[in-house]
Structure 1
Amino acid sequence: MSRNVLIVIDMLKDFIDTDGALNCGEKGRGIVPFVAEKVKEFMAQKEPVIFVMDAHDPEDPEFSRFPVHCVYGTPGAGLIDELASMVEEYPFAIKVPKTRFSGFFRTNLNKILEDLNPAVVHVVGVCTNICVLYTVEELRNRDYRTVVYTKGVASFDEEAHRWALKQMETVLGAEII
């Protein structure tokens, strides 16, 4: 149990690209260099990088609350170019498609983490107050030591972003650095 794992949440074209269907705005674009550096760091150490990726059915009920976004198989559901080209041939890049806020809901993420048995799970991505928060909540409920990087998470709602960071730290016990 010495391995570290990086989870990259929803760094997808529909969330990060300026013309994305549910763009996180300047804050989302602003974390791209940090996230890319974190991915490079984990790749250099030959550590696993798990990409948790929204992948919705065209008729997903979530679209009653949010605009249609990240429909499975569409360009918008793909990793942003800055990351896709970087990890294309990286053998320890794992993609986990999801249909809800938590990266654990009806996915194989739990099994992947059980198999990897990481000492620490590092987290970056969007949106802090939605998919990042609910995935971190599940990590902490499974007693994974979890580190969330403030320079590596963002939201379209700055107040909710700050609230979620505080919740993850004070209630869930994640390390916020």
Structure 2
Amino acid sequence: MKNSALIVVDYSNDFVAENGKLTCGLPGQQIENYIVERIEAYNNKQSDIFFMMDLHYEENKYHPESKLFPPHNIIGTPGRELYGKVNDLYQNILFNDHVHYLDKTRYDSFCGTSLDLMLRERNIQHLEIVGVCTDICILHTAISAYNLGYAMTISHRGVASFNPSGHNWALEHFKNSLGAEVE
């Protein structure tokens, strides 16, 4: 895992919990244990872990998603907290210097964030990406990672979506168009 980082994308209550504002529901819940395993593996080796979290504000008419999706991941709400066991684990490791939490305001974890700079400072060349939604935020993050020259691993056990056909299409796209290792 040297020169590799784990990127955990949008694994929040609003995207995963049964009552989440934009939940992928059961598919998102079913990847929880795998994500916990991957976080533990990276943490045990003190390898970098980046929690990338969607950030929205109440009634922001200027955000492009406001026309596409209901309000979700609103700052200061329980919906924006990490989901379940992932949140419990995060609370136990958050003060380690290899654990990072970055807000993002677009699908892409690189857009408008310091993610690329932080990865390059640490000489990270490979990313393992987990989280939700496969065909939205995971997809846009993976495309940027590819364009920035990162190698990637994306496991079907670590990503989920509320759209099964979009999920399957994205997995094929990661492998066939972005050269990612898809497990």
- Per the normalisation by structure 1, the TM-score is 0.95
1:121 maps to 127
User: 2:66, 2:46 → 1: CA distance?
Assistant: 38
Instruction: Say yes or no: does 1:79 pair with 2:82.
Output: yes
Aligned residue type for 1:87: Y
Superposed counterparts of 1:123-162, under 5 Å = 123-162=129-168
**Aligned CA distance change for structure 1 residues 75 and 168 (closer, same or farther; 3 Å):** same
Q: Which ranges in structure 2 are unaligned for 5 or more consecutive residues? A: none
Deviation readout 1:58-79 (Å, 9 max, x if unpaired): 2134122101100122111111
1:53 corresponds to: 53
User: What is the CA-CA distance between 1:86 and the residue it aligns to?
Assistant: 1.0
Aligned equivalents of 2:153 and 2:75: distance in 1? 29
49, 67, 70: which one pairs with 2:70? 67
Q: Who is 2:100 aligned against?
A: 94
Once the two structures are superposed, what CA deviation does each residue of 1:52-107 show, in whole Å capped at 9, x if it has no partner? 10011221341221011001221111111311221224212101111111001111
Contact 1:127 1:153 in 2 (8 A): yes
Task: Provide the aligned length of Structure 1 versus Structure 2.
Answer: 177
Q: What is residue 20 of structure 1 aligned with on the other side?
A: 20
Cα root mean square deviation, aligned: 1.3
Letter matched to residue 150 of structure 2: Y
Q: Post-superposition shift, 1:168?
A: 1.1
SS at match of 1:151: coil
Q: Which one of 151, 155, 168 corresponds to residue 174 of structure 2?
A: 168
For 2:116 and 2:182, locate their aligned partners in 1 and report how far apart those are by CA, in whole Å.
22
SS at match of 2:22: coil
Amino acid at match of 1:30: Q
1:33 aligns with 2:36: no
Determine if contact 1:3/1:118 at 8 Å carries over to the other structure: yes
Task: State the alpha-carbon separation in 2 of the partners of residues 112 and 56 from structure 1.
Answer: 23
Show structure 1 runs of 5+ residues with no match: none
Q: Percent identity?
A: 34
Quote how far apart the aligned CAs of 1:175 are: 1.0
Query: Is this contact kept in 2: 1:52–1:95, CA < 8 A?
Result: yes
Closer, same or farther: CA 95–82 of 1 in aligned 2, 3 Å: same
1:8–1:52 CA contact under 8 A, matched in 2:
yes
Whether contact under 8 Å (1:2, 1:119) holds in the other structure is no
